[in-house]
């Protein structure tokens, strides 16, 4: 029994479709060149010295005390942030799904889950310093504490937790909605109290999902560059150490070896999360809840939980509001009135704000459609087609999800500063706009692909088959059927890519050359210098841009989206 | 339709799949050969997993055969992609393009073929008239009922004037009443257009109502081919007999074979049965198949039996009777005015020789 004939026929059919073949070849080249190759070069760099294979470079970096501390620091922060985010996320998710809350509280939840999406990654660090730092609004002026330090371990933990917990909240909310209420009702019926039901039914069911949320945040935390950079002070994590190793010590081999260590940690976590926990989560919580849940109305439960959540939500919102307000005070920490626009003015008059916004905006605007289209094509190929190299495409796009930006940045430096394999080939893109755009694309590709895949899975395969059967080739099928059907997902992918690009920093800060001014890099610089008001002014404008983009998308989808029309049917 | 219908030939077709659980290869379709006449209506019938849909999808080009060659007319089409094959498929889920209205759905294939606009308009309108959807061309597909969506799917397949029309369980998402009226429609349109049609279903009554020929498949191989009457009255195996309609099986010993009949024995009782097409010899252990509607419970007859279930069903009286060890189902149609046997009563099974089928 051999499947050779069908394999040969499938190959022939594929080759009869030049657009499809070209697409696959281009994709594989792109993924190999810009994801696999930079990571491979890091491996080569850190294991290959003058005299061939060597462990000396690893030995050298591992002997650095700063690096060893950075590893433990990173893991400690990641672990705690993972636990706290999962716990806070669970609290919010539980209250939303199980407890009857007022309308206002529901609105708060929405805002909280939305804020981290539209804001640059380090906004919370800024406001943390401005509220609780030495000259902090709350510490100094409300409480009269003059020597409070927010820099270091706790600063990072608090800021990262507040930044990442909405992700856990959204994940756990989805899972809790799938818990069949009759399971809990059965437990209640047999005499279990509410607490007992939670600990003996809900929690065990949710456990893999909680583990999943924990690991996702853990990975996010150890890959995070911006927050430790701004609020870490002398408390260095892996991402910042690698950055300093390159920009401060000019030790590129050392940085490569460090990057490999960071990559190994995230990849291990990612593998556990992806191939173990995600499956387990799906196994315990599948299908739909059979009917609506009776919400908890018992005041002894609702009041404390609502108060707790509202306080947390208000705190988070306050942290975000602090940024635009900070930009309006004449001198933060000393003079609060009259409110002034002078910082905003200075952004444009003294600090080349216009160029920064133009550069960031244009580069993100170019990379967004490329990302959106690429991720839709990848999702289409992964979900709807079968061909030999599909596994490769899927695996590499997944891999990109687990690669921290700093690692990618170092890989690009090592891989492209001297051209491909140091031969000078493609050297031209290094330092150019092209490499920045490529980094933007690679960094946003995994998110886009993931949402594209889930959107495409909902489309009946036979719809595309029918078009194919009617005489359309792959290209026609994609353009006339697939793309129109996932227009909404495509649009939101477009905006997400744009927002992610314009707020990106970790990889880009290593690659940007003086000819480009990027907003995020500017904010980082001013925050480092302690010029918080200017940093806030930059950040405020950036938030306005991203928020505007999201609003525009929602409007667009409302009026031109097709999916809604189609969905009404089912 | 201007086009001449083409026949379809499957020449020793096999398809191998991998079992996702065990990782072992198995034949989803094994050595299937078919010769479908141009203009005929052929049904692939069988339980789920029998390979019928895989066969159809190989004809459409979505799957590639591992052995054998498929011909459309005289042309070998193994290497052609679905969009290059002159077939059109009607899908189980209709698979209408949800972002197009009825007209654009039907016109889709014609636009791909770069047919001039005026001609598209007239051809689409003509087909919509044929499937009785005139006046609905501006509707979005989700504003249509299931039956109407099915008509659009059929119109869309017909309008490109394919050589062969393929149906993949097109009626299984409709309710029972609609299913019956739609199958009449499909048969009417197929005959009106004169197109070759290959139809996949697991519903035996659908298969009988529609087809010139039925191909019954089981576990990847053809169990029997023939006209509906042939497969119903002369099933080749217990599987076919059981799958197509209800059947009773009596284990018998062949006693006598002569020119015009065969005598068999069961529980010491001898009775005549119809002579089968397959060779038969005295002394063999065989099975006699009896359809429930071909037998009666009576005061006299070939085999003594005992009633174990007697149930009035409206249009018929349903009996289960025991003949020795065998349980026999009897459908006594329109029983009004006849004697009704009660549970526990002794009686006889009565049937005509023509209603027996020796296997």
* Residues A105, A103: Cα–Cα separation, whole Å: 5
User: Which residue of chain A is at minimal alpha-carbon distance from B80?
Assistant: A13
Give the CA distances from residue B146 to residues A52, B178, B312, in Å, rounded to whole numbers and listed in that order: 70, 9, 35
Residue A318 and residue A213 share a domain: yes
CB-CB under 8 Å, A473 with B64: no
Rounded to an integer, the average pLDDT of B83-98 is 90
Rounded to an integer, the average pLDDT of B210-225 is 94
CB-CB under 8 Å, B82 with A465: yes
User: For chain B, how many structural domains are there in total?
Assistant: 2
pLDDT at A288: 56
* Token couple for B59: 């004809």
Residue B136 and residue B114 share a domain: yes
Residue B120 and residue B45 share a domain: yes
Percent of chain B scoring above 70 in pLDDT: 99
Q: Which of A472, A481, A568 sits opposite B83 (nearest CB)?
A: A472
CB-CB under 8 Å, B112 with A462: no
Residue A118 and residue A16 share a domain: no
Residue A341: inside a domain: no
Residue B277: inside a domain: yes
pLDDT at A198: 86
How many residues make up chain B in this entry? 359
Q: Which of A17, A463, A568 sits opposite B81 (nearest CB)?
A: A17
Confidence class of residue B3 from pLDDT cuts 50, 70 and 90?
Answer: low
SS3 state of residue A49: strand
Q: Which of B80, B83, B97 sits opposite A468 (nearest CB)?
A: B83
Last residue of a domain, one of B225, B241, B257: B241
Residue B204 and residue B70 share a domain: yes
Residue B2: inside a domain: no
SS3 state of residue A512: coil
Condensed to tens digits (0 to 9), the pLDDT of residues B140-168 reads: 888 888 889 988 998 999 898 899 999 99
The residue among B283, B334, B343 whose CA lies nearest residue B313 is: B334
Give the CA distances from residue B272 to residues A369, A451, B90, B263, in Å, rounded to whole numbers and listed in that order: 80, 70, 47, 4
Residue B221 and residue B197 share a domain: yes
**Angle at which helices A532-560 and A342-349 cross, to 10°:** 90
Residue A97 and residue A6 share a domain: no
Contact residues on chain A for B83, CB-CB shorter than 8 A: 468-473
User: Which residue of chain A is at minimal alpha-carbon distance from B82?
Assistant: A469
* Residues B159, A41: Cα–Cα separation, whole Å: 57
* Residues A392, A151: Cα–Cα separation, whole Å: 43
Residues paired with B57 in a beta bridge: none
CB-CB under 8 Å, A12 with B63: no
User: For chain A, how many structural domains are there in total?
Assistant: 2
User: Which residue of chain A is at minimal alpha-carbon distance from B160?
Assistant: A470
CB-CB under 8 Å, B67 with A5: yes
Residue B280: inside a domain: yes
B158 Cα to chain A: minimum distance (Å): 10
Residue B329: inside a domain: yes
Q: Which of A9, A12, A467 sits opposite B108 (nearest CB)?
A: A467
B109 Cα to chain A: minimum distance (Å): 5
Last residue of a domain, one of B241, B264, B293: B241
Residue B17 and residue B118 share a domain: yes
Q: Which of A5, A481, A565 sits opposite B97 (nearest CB)?
A: A481
Last residue of a domain, one of B224, B241, B258: B241
* Token couple for A67: 């690096």
Residue A293: inside a domain: yes
Question: The whole model's pTM is what?
Answer: 0.82
- Three-state SS string over chain B comes to CCCCCCCEEEEEEEEEEECCCCCCEEEEEEEEEEEECCCCEEEEECCCCCCHHHHHHHHHCCCCCCEEEEEECCEECCCCCHHHCCEEEECCCCCCCCCCEHHHHHHHHHHHCCCCHHHHHHHHHHHHHHCCCCCCCCCEHHHCCHHHHHHHHHHHHHHCCCCEEEEECCCCCCCHHHHHHHHHHHHHHHHHHCCEEEEEECCHHHHHHHCCEEEEEECCEEEEEECHHHHHHCCCCHHHHHHCCCCEEEEEEEEEEECCEEEEEECCEEEEECCCCCCCCCCCEEEEEECHHHEEEECCCCEEEEEEEEEECCCEEEEEEEECCEEEEEEEECCCCCCCCCCCCEEEEEECHHHEEEC
Residue A199 and residue A92 share a domain: yes
A475 Cα to chain B: minimum distance (Å): 12
Condensed to tens digits (0 to 9), the pLDDT of residues B332-356 reads: 988 888 889 999 999 999 999 999 9
Measured CB to CB, residues of chain A less than 8 Å from chain B are 1-7, 9-10, 12-13, 16-17, 460, 462-463, 465-473, 476, 480-481, 484-485, 562, 565-566, 568-569
In the Cβ-directed half-sphere of A23, how many Cα atoms lie within 13 Å? 23
Last residue of a domain, one of A491, A510, A529: A510
Residue B229 and residue B133 share a domain: yes
Neighbours of B114 (CB within 10 A): 7
pLDDT at A206: 87
Q: Which of B25, B81, B140 sits opposite A3 (nearest CB)?
A: B25
Rounded to an integer, the average pLDDT of B5-13 is 92
Domain that holds residue A496: 1-45+355-510
Reading chain A (570 residues) residue by residue, the pLDDT tens digits are 678 888 888 888 888 888 889 999 999 999 999 999 999 999 888 888 777 788 888 888 888 888 999 999 999 999 999 999 999 999 988 888 888 877 777 788 878 877 777 777 788 888 888 888 877 777 777 777 777 778 889 999 999 999 899 889 888 888 888 888 888 888 888 888 888 888 888 888 888 889 889 998 999 999 999 899 888 888 999 999 999 988 888 888 888 899 999 999 999 988 888 888 777 777 666 555 566 777 887 788 888 888 888 888 888 888 888 888 888 888 776 777 777 888 888 888 888 888 889 999 999 999 999 999 999 999 999 888 888 888 899 889 888 888 999 999 999 998 888 878 777 777 778 888 999 999 999 999 988 898 888 888 888 888 999 999 999 988 899 889 988 888 888 888 888 899 989 988 888 888 888 888 898 999 888 888 888 888 889 899 998 888 888 888 888 877 776 554 554 443
Domain that holds residue B31: 8-241
Report chain B's mean pLDDT, rounded to a whole number: 90
User: Which residue of chain B is at minimal alpha-carbon distance from A3?
Assistant: B66
Residue A65: inside a domain: yes
Residue B166 and residue B142 share a domain: yes
CB-CB under 8 Å, A476 with B67: no
Is B123 within 8 Å of B110 (Cβ atoms)? yes
B65 Cα to chain A: minimum distance (Å): 5
Residue A517: inside a domain: no
The residue among A492, A493, A486 whose CA lies nearest residue A566 is: A486
Residue A568: inside a domain: no
Residue A315 and residue A392 share a domain: no
Residue B75 and residue B165 share a domain: yes
- The helix or strand, by DSSP H or E, that contains position A477, with its residue range, turns out to be helix A474-477
A506 Cα to chain B: minimum distance (Å): 41
- pLDDT at residue B193 greater than cutoff 60: yes
**Residue A341: DSSP 8-state:** -
* Token couple for A108: 């708060």
Contact residues on chain A for B91, CB-CB shorter than 8 A: 462, 465-466
Here the CATH number for the domain that contains residue B165 is: 3.40.50.300
* Residues A334, A351: Cα–Cα separation, whole Å: 23
User: Which residue of chain A is at minimal alpha-carbon distance from B104?
Assistant: A480
**Angle at which helices A103-118 and A153-178 cross, to 10°:** 120
Here the CATH number for the domain that contains residue A235 is: 1.10.3720.10
Residue A349: inside a domain: no
Here the CATH number for the domain that contains residue B343 is: 2.40.50.140
CB-CB under 8 Å, B81 with A484: no
Residue B206 and residue B62 share a domain: yes
Residue B3: inside a domain: no
CB-CB under 8 Å, A460 with B95: yes
Give one DSSP letter per residue of A380-405, joined into a string: HHHHH---TTHHHHHHHHHHHHHS-H
Residue B91 and residue B226 share a domain: yes
Contact residues on chain A for B25, CB-CB shorter than 8 A: 1, 3
Residue A61: inside a domain: yes
Last residue of a domain, one of A476, A510, A544: A510
Residue B282 and residue B133 share a domain: no
Residue A221 and residue A276 share a domain: yes
Residue A321: inside a domain: yes
User: Which residue of chain A is at minimal alpha-carbon distance from B64?
Assistant: A6
């Amino acid at each position: 029994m051999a499947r050779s004939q069908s394999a040969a026929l499938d190959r022939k059919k594929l080759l009869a479709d030049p657009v499809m073949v070209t697409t696959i070849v281009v994709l594989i080249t792109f993924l190999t060149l810009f994801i696999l190759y930079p990571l491979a070069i890091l491996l080569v760099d850190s294991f290959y010295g003058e005299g061939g294979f060597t462990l000396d470079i690893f030995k050298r970096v591992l002997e650095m005390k700063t690096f060893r501390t950075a590893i433990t620091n990173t893991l400690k922060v990641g672990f705690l942030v993972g636990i706290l985010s999962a716990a806070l996320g669970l609290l919010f998710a539980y209250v939303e799904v199980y407890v009857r809350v007022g309308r206002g509280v529901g609105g708060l939840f929405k805002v909280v889950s939305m804020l981290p999406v539209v804001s640059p990654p380090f906004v919370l660090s800024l406001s943390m310093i401005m509220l609780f730092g030495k000259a902090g609004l709350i510490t100094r002026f409300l409480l009269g504490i003059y020597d409070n330090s927010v820099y270091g371990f706790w600063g990072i933990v608090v800021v990262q937790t507040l930044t990442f917990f909405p992700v856990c909240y959204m994940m756990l909310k989805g899972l809790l909605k799938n818990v069949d209420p009759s399971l809990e009702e059965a437990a209640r019926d047999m005499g279990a109290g509410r607490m007992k039901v939670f600990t003996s039914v809900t929690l065990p069911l949710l456990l893999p999902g909680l583990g999943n949320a924990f690991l996702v945040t853990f990975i996010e935390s150890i890959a995070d560059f911006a927050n430790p950079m701004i609020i870490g002070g002398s408390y260095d994590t892996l991402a910042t150490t690698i950055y300093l190793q390159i920009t401060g010590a000019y030790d590129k081999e050392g940085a490569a070896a460090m990057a490999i260590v960071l990559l190994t940690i995230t990849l291990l976590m990612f593998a556990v999360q992806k191939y173990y926990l995600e499956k387990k989560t799906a196994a315990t919580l599948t299908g739909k809840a059979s009917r609506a849940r009776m919400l908890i109305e018992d005041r002894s439960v609702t009041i404390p939980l609502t108060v707790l959540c509202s306080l947390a939500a208000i705190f988070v919102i306050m942290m975000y509001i602090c940024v635009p307000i900070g930009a309006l005070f004449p001198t933060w920490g000393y003079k609060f009135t009259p409110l002034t626009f002078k910082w905003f003015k200075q952004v444009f008059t003294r600090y080349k704000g216009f160029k920064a916004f133009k550069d960031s905006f244009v580069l993100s605007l170019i990379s967004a459609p490329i990302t959106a289209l690429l991720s839709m094509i990848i999702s289409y190929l992964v979900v709807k087609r079968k061909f030999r190299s599909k596994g490769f495409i899927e695996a590499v796009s997944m891999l990109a999800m687990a690669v921290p930006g700093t690692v990618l940045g170092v890989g690009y430096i090592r891989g492209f500063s001297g051209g491909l394999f140091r031969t000078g080939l493609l050297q031209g893109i290094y330092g150019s706009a092209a490499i920045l755009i490529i980094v933007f694309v690679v960094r946003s590709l995994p998110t886009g692909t993931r949402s594209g895949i889930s959107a495409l899975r909902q489309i009946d395969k036979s719809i595309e088959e029918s078009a194919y059967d009617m005489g359309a080739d792959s290209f026609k099928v994609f353009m006339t059927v697939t793309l129109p059907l996932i227009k909404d997902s495509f649009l939101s992918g477009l905006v997400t890519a744009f927002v992610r690009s314009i707020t990106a920093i970790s990889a880009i800060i290593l690659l940007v050359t003086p000819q480009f001014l990027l907003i995020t890099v500017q904010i980082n610089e001013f925050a480092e210098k302690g010029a918080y008001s200017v940093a806030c002014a930059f950040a405020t404008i950036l938030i306005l841009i991203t928020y505007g983009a999201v609003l525009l998308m929602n409007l667009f989808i409302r009026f031109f989206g097709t999916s809604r029309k189609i969905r009404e049917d089912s | 339709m201007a086009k001449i219908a083409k026949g379809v030939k499957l020449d020793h077709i096999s398809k191998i799949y991998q079992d996702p659980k065990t990782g072992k290869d198995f034949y989803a379709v094994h050595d299937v050969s078919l010769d479908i006449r141009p203009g005929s209506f052929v049904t692939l019938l069988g339980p789920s997993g029998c390979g019928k849909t895989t066969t159809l999808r190989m004809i459409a080009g979505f799957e590639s055969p591992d052995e054998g060659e498929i011909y459309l007319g005289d042309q070998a089409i193994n290497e052609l992609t679905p969009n290059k094959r002159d077939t059109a498929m009607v899908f189980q889920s209709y698979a209408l393009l949800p972002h197009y209205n009825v007209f654009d759905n039907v016109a889709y294939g014609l636009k791909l073929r770069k047919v001039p606009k005026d001609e598209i308009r007239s051809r689409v309108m003509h087909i919509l008239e044929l499937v009785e959807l005139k006046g609905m061309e501006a509707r979005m597909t989700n504003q249509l009922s299931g039956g109407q969506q099915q008509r659009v799917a059929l119109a869309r397949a017909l309008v490109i004037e394919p050589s062969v029309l393929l149906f993949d369980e097109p009626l299984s998402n409709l309710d029972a009443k609609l299913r019956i009226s739609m199958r009449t429609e499909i048969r009417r349109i197929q005959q009106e257009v004169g197109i070759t049609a290959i139809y996949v279903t697991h519903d035996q009554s659908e298969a009988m109502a529609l087809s010139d020929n039925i191909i019954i498949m089981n576990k990847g191989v053809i169990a029997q081919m023939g006209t509906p009457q042939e497969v119903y009255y002369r099933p080749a195996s217990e599987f076919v007999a059981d799958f197509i309609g209800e059947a009773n099986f009596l284990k018998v010993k062949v006693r006598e074979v002569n020119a015009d009949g065969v005598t068999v024995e069961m529980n010491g009782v001898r009775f005549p049965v119809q002579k089968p097409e397959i060779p038969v010899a005295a002394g063999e252990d065989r099975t006699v198949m009896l359809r429930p509607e071909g037998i009666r419970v009576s005061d006299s007859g070939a085999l003594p039996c005992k009633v174990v279930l007697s149930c009035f069903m409206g249009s018929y009286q349903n009996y289960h009777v025991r003949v020795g060890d065998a349980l026999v189902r009897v459908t006594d149609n329109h029983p009004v005015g006849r004697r009704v046997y009660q549970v526990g009563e002794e009686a006889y099974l009565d049937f005509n020789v023509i209603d027996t089928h020796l296997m």
